[in-house]
Structure 1
Amino acid sequence: MPWVLLTIAGLLEIVWAYYMKLSDGFSKPWPTLATFVAMFASFGLLSLAMKQLPLGTSYMVWTGIGALGAFVVGIVILGEAVTPLRLVAAAMLLGGLVLMKLAS
C-alpha cells in the first residue's frame, strides 16, 4: 500500500507542476488553486507513504516520478524540445528509479 500511495503522490506532483506552469507566476487564480490543491494532496500522500518506506527511497521515487512526468508533459502538451541529450538524461532518471525500487 505505501508504494501505491507514493505513486499517486508522484503523479500529483506532475499535476501541480503543470498547473504551476499554467498559473503564470500565480497570477491566474484557477491554475493557482489547482496547483495548491494537488500540492497539498501530493505532500499528504508522500507523508503517509513515508510512515512505512525509508526517507531516501520515498523522496527519490516521488521526485523522480514528478520529474519524469513533468518532462513528458512538457514535451507532449507544452511542445518542449526533444533532444537526444534530454532523452538520455530522462532514461538515466528512470534507471535510477528502477534501481531504487529493486534495492528496497
Structure 2
Amino acid sequence: MNWLVLIIAGLFEVAFAFCLSKAKEATGNDVYLWYGGFFICATISFLLLIKAIQTLPIGTAYAVWTGIGAVGTVLLGILVFKDPANFWRVFFIVTLISSIIGLKYVSH
C-alpha cells in the first residue's frame, strides 16, 4: 500500500513542477493561482512521502519519489511543453525508470 502512496506522492511532485512552469508563463492574477497550485501539490506530495517512509526505507523511498518526479517532469516537458526528445534524453529516462523499478524490487 505504501508503494502506491509513494507513487501518488511522485505524481504530485510532477504536478507542482507543472504549476511552476505554468506560473512562469502566466500574467496577472493567474500567476497567484499557479503558485497556489504549486503550494497545494507540494504539500500533498511531501505529506504522502512522509506517510510512505513510515514503512519504506528512507533512501529507497526518496530515490523513487525524486525519480518519479524527474521522469514525469521530463515526459511532461516533452509532451506538453515541446521540449526536445532526442535519443540520449530518452535513453537516460529509460535508464532512470529501470533504476526506480530495480530499487523497488530489492527493497524489503
TM-score, L = length of structure 2: 0.92
Corresponding residue of 2:14: 14
The one-letter code sitting in structure 1 at the alignment partner of 2:3 is: W
Inter-partner Cα distance in structure 1 for 2:88 and 2:3:
30
Residue 50 of structure 1, aligned match among 49, 53, 62: 53
Inter-partner Cα distance in structure 2 for 1:32 and 1:24:
10
Deviation at 1:4, TM superposition (A): 1.1
Calculate the aligned-residue CA RMSD, in Å. 1.5
Corresponding residue of 2:73: 70
Inter-partner Cα distance in structure 2 for 1:38 and 1:95:
26
Which residues of structure 2 form unaligned runs of 5+?
none
Which residues of structure 1 form unaligned runs of 5+?
none
Inter-partner Cα distance in structure 2 for 1:31 and 1:46:
22
Displacement over 2 Å in runs of 4+: none
Percent identity of paired positions between Structure 1 and Structure 2: 33
